Structure 1
Amino acid sequence: MMNFAIIGCGRISYKHVEAIVNNHPEARLIAVCDIIEERAKKKAEEYVEKMAAQEILVETPTIYTHYEDLLKNTSVDIVAIATESGKHAKISIDAMNAGKHVIVEKPMAMTIEDADRMIEASERNKVKLCVCHQNRFNPAIQKLRQAVEEGRFGRIIAGNARILWNRNEEYYRQAPWRGTKKQDGGCLMNQCIHNIDLLQWMLGGEVEQVNAMLGNFTHPYIEMEDYGSLQIRFKNGAIGNVEGTVCVYPQNLEETLTILGEKGTVVIGGKAVNKVQVWQFEDGKDSLEQVQKACDREIENIYGSGHISLYRNAIDSIVKKSTPYIDGIEGKKAIHIILKVYEIS
């Protein structure tokens, strides 16, 4: 059994609790930390209640308000970091230097230099570093990745990522770090990074050129962009197109990934790229209906259910001494693209 701790008990932390609960008995939560003690207490209670709903009695996790104190707890094996983005790198490095494995929310860091330091700390301390790009585990995305690896598209021509969402003033006022350059970035770094990650993963990873136009149209109270349009030329010749925004009225509209090849076309949409909308290949191996039946999943919100599989993979990588599915090297690729955009815009 792996002993987990969660640092940062805000908006996304419930998905980490859910992942630990759904990976029982290999995982248990023994500590939680937040600078606001009441939030940490609620998260500890949430874990106990969810386990009780499965008729499993557990001890209440120990509560901390300073993560440095938590890292001194020698019983903790894995630390999940869900704080504001600008603190991910330092806390991750401190945790790995304390001998803990790390699961860190996206973006793993706000600079390439910090991402590299995180990777170095993982290697030096011989601990695992896992980055939360949980949508890679979606069955629909896994099926698409399989088609890419099998060469079913022939030459991949282009890919399109559309993230058309809404974030209102209340969302940003709830946490003043949101939308700031130092702690969060704009819609590309916060909301769009998951689909940018999927786009680069499918199209070939290595980037040759980036063009972009950004703007802040309806959120004057934040420092960064609320709309971005970019083109990415990959070294293999494929072109990626991204449209991302939090300006959609009055609510989230879509998160869609499209891959175009000389012998195939796939569109995956839904709340969090969880439903196959188009599946056409020259080889005719499978139909849209077959793939939808096997891969489509209902989800409650944009966070999906991939954290459960991500935690399962993290545990397996520790036990089997293997590389996590989304390690630091993989986690760095999307922020590399976004930081290139910020550099030229």
Structure 2
Amino acid sequence: MVNFAIVGMGHIAKKHIEAIQHADGAKLVAVCDTNAQRLEEYEGICSLYTDLEKMLDEQTDIDVVNICVPSGLHMRLAKIVAEKGKHIILEKPMALTVSDSEEINKIAAENGVKLSVVHPNRFRPAIRVLRDLMDRNLFGKLSHANATVRWNRNQAYYDQADWRGTKEFDGGVLMNQAIHNLDLLLWFMGPVKSVQAMASTRFRDIETEDVAVGVVEFESGALGVIEAATTIYPENLEESLAIFGETGTVKISGRNANFIETLNVLDISEEEKNKLIEEVKVDPFGKPGHQWIIEDMIQAVQTNTEPIVSGQEGLAPVKLIEAFLESAETGKKVFIKQLSAV
């Protein structure tokens, strides 16, 4: 049995609790939040704490801590957890800056703890189908890709908490909403060489961007187009990922990128293609992504292996977004490796 604790009992923590409860070999032993009222509903379920360090000192049976606090606090709390020798599951984004993300990786390595970043969309059925096809190299040389997030987050969403939409604690549409889509883009297309982008705050009363568009060049030479917005009226419209290769075309779409809209691959028969599309339609969400993350960490702890979505994997979209925002601010192309405009 691997024992889990959670720090930060906001909305996303409920997904972690449900995942722990449904994962074989997992047990929730403690939760922590500075707001004691948030802990009341967990009375009798597990130990309750309002101080993270006290929880780590007193609850010695904790193996893994799931960090679910506002993004700007990730580095500080990850340091506390790692120095106590506990493994870490870190909600997305890994951090709001490349420097903080790299520091988290460094701290985890120095203390010999495993680090997993929550990018659960990798485990959706449509994405798993695409991963298999890509691993079989059925698309040939890739020409370009398109990553799109057209969602709605109204002012009431940002007004729920004073940290939402801030540069210090939350980030904008790229860090907070589109990062899962960007993680998938990088997972399939590989590292980005350069970014040319624009971003704006059009509708919401926030510090960060609510719409962003840009083009990227991958190290492979392939190109990409990124569009992300929380300004879509009156509700979420779509999230999609399209990839185009010499011998294959695919578009995964729907409101949450969980259906195969288009699939044409040279070496796949119509029968196999239609079977894959229909199987995804029957169960477009599959086993919850957070449960995959929990079970993967259990396996990593028990077999002393790296989690699938490691700290280095979590760093990649943060690098892309930091370069994206630098390009938007300077109006110039930014190269990922040195993160400097030219």
Is this a same-fold pair by TM over 0.5?
A: yes
Residue matched to 1:272: 256
Task: Give the secondary-structure state (helix, strand or coil) at the position aligned to 2:11.
Answer: coil
Residue matched to 2:45: 60
Residue matched to 1:40: 39
Does structure 1 conserve the Cα–Cα contact (< 8 Å) formed by 2:125 and 2:285?
Answer: no
CA displacement at 1:183 relative to structure 2: 0.8
Of 66-75 and 328-337, the range deviating more from structure 2: 66-75
CA displacement at 1:249 relative to structure 2: 0.5
Task: Give the secondary-structure state (helix, strand or coil) at the position aligned to 1:174.
Answer: coil
Residue matched to 1:138: 124
CA displacement at 1:293 relative to structure 2: 3.1
Q: How many residues align?
A: 325
Residue matched to 1:17: 17
CA displacement at 1:299 relative to structure 2: 4.5
**Whole-Å separation in 2 of the counterparts to 1:216 and 1:343:** 15
Does structure 2 conserve the Cα–Cα contact (< 8 Å) formed by 1:271 and 1:299?
Answer: no
Instruction: List aligned pairs for 1:223-262, cutoff 5 A.
Output: 223-262=207-246
RMSD, aligned CA: 1.5
Does structure 2 conserve the Cα–Cα contact (< 8 Å) formed by 1:163 and 1:245?
Answer: yes
Instruction: List aligned pairs for 1:1-345, cutoff 5 A.
Output: 1-24=1-24, 26-42=25-41, 44=42, 60-72=45-57, 73-204=59-190, 206-219=191-204, 221-285=205-269, 287-296=272-281, 297-299=283-285, 305-345=288-328
Of 283-292 and 262-271, the range deviating more from structure 2: 283-292
**Whole-Å separation in 2 of the counterparts to 1:182 and 1:80:** 21
**Whole-Å separation in 1 of the counterparts to 2:268 and 2:115:** 39
Does structure 2 conserve the Cα–Cα contact (< 8 Å) formed by 1:278 and 1:288?
Answer: no
TM-score for the superposition, normalised by structure 1 = 0.91
Of 326-335 and 268-277, the range deviating more from structure 2: 268-277
Which runs of no fewer than 5 residues in structure 2 stay unpaired?
329-342
CA displacement at 1:288 relative to structure 2: 3.4
Q: CA offsets, 1:19-53, max 9 Å, x none?
A: 101104x11111111111111222x26xxxxxxxx
**Whole-Å separation in 1 of the counterparts to 2:76 and 2:112:** 18
Q: Which amino acid aligns with 1:321?
A: N
Q: Which amino acid aligns with 2:210?
A: D
Does structure 1 conserve the Cα–Cα contact (< 8 Å) formed by 2:125 and 2:284?
Answer: no
Residue matched to 2:333: none
Q: Which amino acid aligns with 1:19?
A: A
**Whole-Å separation in 2 of the counterparts to 1:93 and 1:290:** 47
Residue matched to 1:55: none
Does structure 1 conserve the Cα–Cα contact (< 8 Å) formed by 2:124 and 2:285?
Answer: no
Q: CA offsets, 1:251-301, max 9 Å, x none?
A: 11111111111110111112322211111101124643211233343459x
TM-score for the superposition, normalised by structure 2 = 0.92
Q: Which amino acid aligns with 2:239?
A: E
CA displacement at 1:99 relative to structure 2: 0.7
Task: Give the secondary-structure state (helix, strand or coil) at the position aligned to 1:335.
Answer: helix
Does structure 1 conserve the Cα–Cα contact (< 8 Å) formed by 2:239 and 2:257?
Answer: yes
Does structure 2 conserve the Cα–Cα contact (< 8 Å) formed by 1:135 and 1:272?
Answer: no
Which runs of no fewer than 5 residues in structure 1 stay unpaired?
46-58
CA displacement at 1:135 relative to structure 2: 0.4
CA displacement at 1:230 relative to structure 2: 1.2
Identity of aligned residues (%): 39
Task: Give the secondary-structure state (helix, strand or coil) at the position aligned to 2:241.
Answer: strand
Task: Give the secondary-structure state (helix, strand or coil) at the position aligned to 2:157.
Answer: helix
**Whole-Å separation in 2 of the counterparts to 1:177 and 1:147:** 41
**Whole-Å separation in 1 of the counterparts to 2:65 and 2:149:** 30
Does structure 2 conserve the Cα–Cα contact (< 8 Å) formed by 1:280 and 1:287?
Answer: no
CA displacement at 1:321 relative to structure 2: 0.8
**Whole-Å separation in 2 of the counterparts to 1:273 and 1:15:** 19
